[in-house]
Amino acid sequence: MKLDINGTVRDVDATPEMPLLWVLRDILGFTGTKFGCGMAQCGACTVHLDGQPVRSCITPVSTVGARKVRTIEGLSTDGSHPVQRAWAETDVVQCGYCQSGQIMTTVALLAQKPDPSDADIDAALSGNICRCGTYARIREAVHLAAKLSRGGAK
Amino acid sequence: MSAAGLVVAFHVPQGRAAPAPAPAPAPAAPPLPPPNAFLRIGTDDSVTVMIAHSEMGQGIWTGLAMLIAEELECDWSKVRSEHAPAAPVYKHTAFPVQMTGGSTTTWSEFERYRTVGATAKDMLVRAAAARWKVKPETCKVANGVVSHGKDQLSFGKLAEAAMALPPPKTVKLKDPKDWKLIGTPVRRLDTPEKITGKAQFGIDVQFPGLRVAVVARPPAFGAKLAKFDASAALKVPGVEKVVPTANGVAVVAKHFWAAKLGRDALHIDWTPPAGGGVDTTKLMAEFRATAKKPGTIVTKKGEIDAGLAGAKTKLTAEYEVPYLAHAPMEPLNCTVKIDGDRCEIWTGTQFQTGDQMAAAMILGIPPEKAVEKVTIHTMFLGGGFGRRGNPAADFVSEAVIVAKAAGVPVKVVWTREDDMHGGYYRPAYVHRIQTGLDEHGRPTAWDHVVVGQSIIAGTPFEPMMMQHGTDPTSVEGLAESPYLEGTGALRVSLHSPKTAIPVLWWRSVGNTHTAFAMESMIDEVAHAANQDPLAYRLALLKDKPRHAAALSLAADKAGWSTPPAAGRARGLAVHESFGSIVAQVAEVSIENGQIRVHSVTCAVDCGIAVNPLGIEAQIQGAVVFGLSAVLHGKLTLTGGAVNESNFHDYPVLRMYEMPRVAVHIIQSKARMGGIGEPATAPIAPAVANAVFALTKQRLRTLPLRLA
């Protein structure tokens, strides 16, 4: 099958029910998307399909079709995406394992709601677990990313 | 270069509240390692710091680099970190092993890493001075450049010559008033790779020829492998081999998904545990019964029976906490490549020395050759919390066995279910406290029985850590409680029953339950004496200025003296652990029958604060970790099998439950304490005390459940 990953179409040899997560990680080498639970409980595997956030651990690769897959690696080559810049400015990460998922969910949130409220953030990000407990700084960084995306001063 | 003649004072901290494990006796001052074991300066002026401990989110990747950079006077923007190899030079300065835990990294390296920086700076200056034929003392150093008048040379140009010089005999470290980095908020060095997906965790390791294995392990503690049929598994596309492990069966495949489907296709007969296996409902009832009698004495003062009998008022209470999983976001994993008599291991581990020795033993490598023959590549840890620092080296040993049996390099990956069922939990405990109060409500008698498994017994740490037959990690934070110093009749005793459940340290170890018991009971006593919980504690802490200061600051910042909004109440707690004192005030309400924590105000006295930005992060994170246990976490076992398996039935705190956490760092001149763990301990009693203030329900079991 052919998959469009971060703008490049690749030939992939995988069984149809294999989750997109494992195709990305083990077959294509995109290890930025993480495995945390395998049942869409933790959000570490979040990628975009045509801009929509999905949990790739329960997305069979055969259902992707022609939709564009965007992973953390596709946000920028150098951490310059506004959400990434906000994460850096706010010093969000600790162990970092959940952060690809947190960032991908946030990018999708801001595409829907460019100026999210705290309630919007709760609703969008409560599917992304962080065991290091970085939620306070994630929230701060989402607000900052919203400003940066609008071109505002920090 | 020679380390001969390098004589620098080498301090082993003494007399602190015992971190786990207890330090080995101070050796005679050993020579310091050569700077080039700890840093590398490139011709491009980059400074690479070798981090002798494991980065699991706690921020030492940045903190240790700051210590070197402060003394080295390099350009901070050119500093990067790497995990050091597993080698004797990187042993912990207080314990005879390479390990990370007990919130010890920063204080234990505070002297060594600064000394390395100062030593390297000395050599760079002498190299420049030699080139300019001037006296070293007439040279200046700033921002990675040595200068003399108009002459300048960057570190990159001097490094090769500098590292060939003999090291200095002594170095002088900066006076704290001259610190430029230490004590300032510094952003993390590992952020760029962690926000772009580039950071490599153990589970991300890939190289040509590497296979992935998923292991079928006993479904209950005490169950044994009777027989297995791999024929269906071997037919799964991508599966290459099926090999036995020490107690289970491994499916080795091209990639994770094939290995997992292969495991699903195994037919295995397991012999159930003898006696039917552990049932936590029965076990906790046994613990409660055991708690009614004193155990092995931990500490004793005066005559407890007489003290209790003669007290004006008596209170009795039992506190209980369940088994808990660490549940790091990155499930356990380990990659092993065996090459003749050598072995390479890639994993996120907190205990390199233990893993090295375990691998050597399995492969028949003599212990004295373990360091030479067993290479450990420490990857970023996607959370540790103690689970990745296992003296039993469980996940590493298993992976070595699989690689050896399979004859190919193998990455063993655990599913979330495997991780949650894999044991090494924070043990369950029951506390039974009887206290006698005088007419002022002060405790004059305190009888405290603790029942719960020992973490240390049966491990290589047992000989050096057990104290008079008791496990200090079961009672830390309790036996030495400042509230009990004035108590004339005191008995703290411990029962350490054995069960088939493997147990291990979990962030803040014994303090996870002793703080809950102590700070809840003291709160009960304060209320029984009709006194304000803050005033009551401050009276008992009148000779403990650091505890009193932390508690007063947290209370003040939380607005303790003004009533909260309607429908809300506050509770407080202060607890010392790992050398630091943390006070917390939690503000809660009840919404739809659920406890909602709105804010936690924290004051911390951790001595010298190296990176306040990192300290704030650790306190916030430790509060969240603790709150998961306060509100949700509970493992139960039936027939020796763990009932919970993933985040749907072992919930942890999520964004929508996150309180505001304000952190106030006290400018303290006390000796540096740890910061990774101390803020986890007091959150349970702070919240439970707030719930009592709001509802008059005294909740003595975690997770908290309203009647």
**Chain A residues within 8 A of B620 when measuring between CB atoms:** 133-134, 136-137
Is there a single domain that holds both residue B435 and residue B356?
Answer: no
Is there a single domain that holds both residue B144 and residue B173?
Answer: yes
Give the angle B204-B207-B213 at the CA atoms, nearest 5°: 65
Output the pLDDT for position B36. Answer: 86
- In this complex, which of A26, A71, A131 lies closest to B255 when CB atoms are compared? A26
Distances from the Cα of B401 to the Cαs of B286, B338, B363, in angstroms? 37, 10, 8
CATH topology of domain A82-149: DNA polymerase; domain 1 (1.10.150)
CB pair distance less than 8 Å for A94 and B613: no
- In this complex, which of A39, A79, A135 lies closest to B192 when CB atoms are compared? A79
Q: What is the pLDDT of residues B585-632, one digit of tens each?
A: 999 999 999 999 999 999 999 999 999 999 999 999 999 999 999 999
Is there a single domain that holds both residue B433 and residue B490?
Answer: yes
CB pair distance less than 8 Å for B199 and A84: no
What is the distance between the alpha carbons of residues A123 and A104, in angstroms, rounded to a whole number?
15
Does the pLDDT value for residue A98 go beyond 90?
yes
**Chain A residues within 8 A of B617 when measuring between CB atoms:** 91, 94, 134, 137
Does the pLDDT value for residue B5 go beyond 80?
no
Q: What is the pLDDT of residues B511-520, one digit of tens each?
A: 999 999 999 9
**Chain B residues within 8 A of A76 when measuring between CB atoms:** 196
Give the angle A120-A126-A131 at the CA atoms, nearest 5°: 140
Residue at B20 is within a domain: no
Residue at B706 is within a domain: no
Q: Which of B256, B238, B416 is nearest to A22 (CA)?
A: B256
What is the residue-averaged pLDDT of chain A?
97
Confidence bin at B14 (pLDDT 50/70/90)? very low
Rounded mean pLDDT, B257-270: 98
Question: Which amino acid is located at A54 in the chain?
Answer: V
- In this complex, which of B58, B254, B329 lies closest to A42 when CB atoms are compared? B329
Q: Note whether A88 and A141 are within 8 A (CB).
A: no
Kind and range of the H or E run holding B511: helix B511-528
Does the pLDDT value for residue B18 go beyond 50?
no
Confidence bin at B460 (pLDDT 50/70/90)? confident
Q: Note whether B639 and B695 are within 8 A (CB).
A: no
Q: What is the pLDDT of residues B631-665, one digit of tens each?
A: 999 999 999 999 999 999 999 999 999 999 999 99
Is there a single domain that holds both residue B209 and residue B358?
Answer: yes
Is there a single domain that holds both residue B365 and residue B465?
Answer: no
Output the pLDDT for position B467. Answer: 83
Of B194, B224, B246, the position where a domain reaches its end is B194
CB pair distance less than 8 Å for B382 and A96: yes
Token pair listed for B689: 């005390």
Q: How far is A152 from chain B (nearest CA, A)?
A: 22
Confidence bin at B26 (pLDDT 50/70/90)? low
Please list, in sequence order, all residues whose beta carbon lies within 8 angstroms of the beta carbon of residue B96, skipping any fewer than 6 positions away: B24
Q: How many domains are contained in chain B?
A: 3
Q: Which of B706, B646, B21, B702 is nearest to B428 (CA)?
A: B702
Confidence bin at B7 (pLDDT 50/70/90)? very low
3-state secondary structure B668-695: CCCCCCCCCCCCCCCHHHHHHHHHHHHH
Does the pLDDT value for residue B565 go beyond 60?
yes
The 8 Å CB, 24+ separation contacts for B696-701 are: B698/B317, B698/B520, B698/B524, B700/B317, B700/B318, B700/B319, B700/B320, B700/B520, B701/B319, B701/B320, B701/B321
Residue entry with tokens 């960084």: A141
Q: How far is B188 from chain A (nearest CA, A)?
A: 7
Tell which B residues from 233 to 252 touch A, by Cβ distance under 8 Å: 237
3-state class (DSSP) for residue A107: helix
What is the distance between the alpha carbons of residues B93 and B102, in angstroms, rounded to a whole number?
13
CB pair distance less than 8 Å for B646 and A138: no
Buried b (16+ CB within 10 A) or exposed e, B166-183: ebbeebebeeeeeeebbb
pTM, two decimal places: 0.95
Domain limits, chain A: 2-74, 82-149
**Chain A residues within 8 A of B195 when measuring between CB atoms:** 79, 84, 87-88, 92-93, 96, 99, 103
Output the pLDDT for position B463. Answer: 87
Token pair listed for B415: 């599913």
Domain that holds residue B298: 280-324+425-695
Bigger pLDDT: B563 or A152? Answer: B563
To the nearest whole percent, how much of chain A has pLDDT over 90?
Answer: 96
Distances from the Cα of B570 to the Cαs of B42, B586, B655, in angstroms? 54, 5, 22
Torsion angle of C-alpha atoms A120, A125, A127, A129, degrees rounded to 10 = -150
3-state class (DSSP) for residue B435: strand
User: Which residue of chain A has the CA closest to B645?
Assistant: A37
Output the pLDDT for position B488. Answer: 96
Chain A contact for B132 (CB, 8 A cutoff): no
Is there a single domain that holds both residue B536 and residue B576?
Answer: yes
**Chain B residues within 8 A of A27 when measuring between CB atoms:** 255
Does the pLDDT value for residue B10 go beyond 80?
no
What is the distance between the alpha carbons of residues B72 and B143, in angstroms, rounded to a whole number?
9
Output the pLDDT for position B32. Answer: 61
Pairing of strands B660-665, B594-605: parallel
Chain A contact for B349 (CB, 8 A cutoff): no
Output the pLDDT for position B34. Answer: 76
CATH topology of domain A2-74: Ubiquitin-like (UB roll) (3.10.20)
Kind and range of the H or E run holding B473: helix B472-475
- ipTM exceeding cut-off 0.90 for this assembly: yes
Confidence bin at B337 (pLDDT 50/70/90)? very high
CB pair distance less than 8 Å for B329 and A130: yes
Output the pLDDT for position B461. Answer: 85
Bigger pLDDT: A66 or B6? Answer: A66
What is the distance between the alpha carbons of residues B706 and B703, in angstroms, rounded to a whole number?
10
**Chain A residues within 8 A of B658 when measuring between CB atoms:** 135-136, 139
Tell which B residues from 409 to 428 touch A, by Cβ distance under 8 Å: 413, 415-417
Residue at B89 is within a domain: yes
Output the pLDDT for position A151. Answer: 75
Residue at B266 is within a domain: yes
Q: What is the pLDDT of residues B141-164, one digit of tens each?
A: 999 999 999 999 999 999 999 989
Of B413, B442, B460, the position where a domain reaches its end is B413
Output the pLDDT for position B652. Answer: 98
Residue at B297 is within a domain: yes
Does the pLDDT value for residue B495 go beyond 50?
yes
Is the previous residue joined to B703 through a cis bond, with omega within 30 degrees of 0? yes
What is the distance between the alpha carbons of residues B491 and B480, in angstroms, rounded to a whole number?
12
**Chain B residues within 8 A of A39 when measuring between CB atoms:** 416, 646-648
Confidence bin at B465 (pLDDT 50/70/90)? confident
**Chain B residues within 8 A of A125 when measuring between CB atoms:** 655
Token pair listed for B426: 């924070």
**Chain A residues within 8 A of B206 when measuring between CB atoms:** 26, 29, 31
User: Which residue of chain B has the CA closest to A25?
Assistant: B204
CB pairs < 8 Å spanning A and B: 178
Does the pLDDT value for residue B301 go beyond 70?
yes
Give the angle A73-A75-A81 at the CA atoms, nearest 5°: 135
Least confidently predicted of A106-115, B1-10, B270-279, B583-592 = B1-10
Chain A contact for B678 (CB, 8 A cutoff): no
What is the residue-averaged pLDDT of chain B?
94
Bigger pLDDT: B23 or B487? Answer: B487
**B527: CATH:** 3.30.365.10
Output the pLDDT for position B2. Answer: 32
Does the pLDDT value for residue B6 go beyond 60?
no
Does the pLDDT value for residue B703 go beyond 90?
yes
What is the distance between the alpha carbons of residues B698 and B429, in angstroms, rounded to a whole number?
18
CA B627 remoteness from chain centre: 16
Alpha helices for B297-393 (secondary structure H): 304-309, 352-363, 370-373
Q: What is the pLDDT of residues B203-255, one digit of tens each?
A: 999 999 999 999 999 999 999 999 999 999 999 999 999 999 999 999 999 99
Q: What is the pLDDT of residues B176-211, one digit of tens each?
A: 999 999 999 999 999 999 999 999 999 999 999 999
Q: How far is B368 from chain A (nearest CA, A)?
A: 33
Is there a single domain that holds both residue B501 and residue B407?
Answer: no
Is there a single domain that holds both residue B361 and residue B222?
Answer: yes
Confidence bin at B31 (pLDDT 50/70/90)? low
Is there a single domain that holds both residue B285 and residue B264?
Answer: no
Residue at B2 is within a domain: no
What is the distance between the alpha carbons of residues B125 and B147, in angstroms, rounded to a whole number?
9
Give the residue from A23, A25, A26 with the most B CB atoms within 10 Å of its CB, the best one to mutate. A26
User: Which residue of chain B has the CA closest to A57?
Assistant: B257
Q: How far is A118 from chain B (nearest CA, A)?
A: 9
Does the pLDDT value for residue B8 go beyond 80?
no
3-state secondary structure A47-87: EEECCEEEEHHHCEHHHCCCCEEECHHHCCCCCCCHHHHHH
What is the distance between the alpha carbons of residues B473 and B454, in angstroms, rounded to a whole number?
8
Residue at B588 is within a domain: yes
Buried b (16+ CB within 10 A) or exposed e, B138-152: ebebeebbbebeeee
Q: Note whether B121 and B146 are within 8 A (CB).
A: no
Of B413, B441, B467, the position where a domain reaches its end is B413
What is the distance between the alpha carbons of residues B446 and B492, in angstroms, rounded to a whole number?
8
Length of chain A: 154
What is the distance between the alpha carbons of residues B446 and B467, in angstroms, rounded to a whole number?
21
Is there a single domain that holds both residue B188 and residue B206?
Answer: no
Is there a single domain that holds both residue B519 and residue B564?
Answer: yes
Give the residue from B100, B194, B602 with the most A CB atoms within 10 Å of its CB, the best one to mutate. B194
Residue at B260 is within a domain: yes
- In this complex, which of B256, B329, B624 lies closest to A135 when CB atoms are compared? B624
Chain A contact for B617 (CB, 8 A cutoff): yes
Burial of B632 (0-12, 13-18, 19+ CB in 10 A): middle
Phi and psi dihedrals of B242, rounded to 5?
A: -130, 125
**Chain A residues within 8 A of B196 when measuring between CB atoms:** 32, 72-73, 75-76, 78-79, 84
What is the distance between the alpha carbons of residues A34 and B199, in angstroms, rounded to a whole number?
11
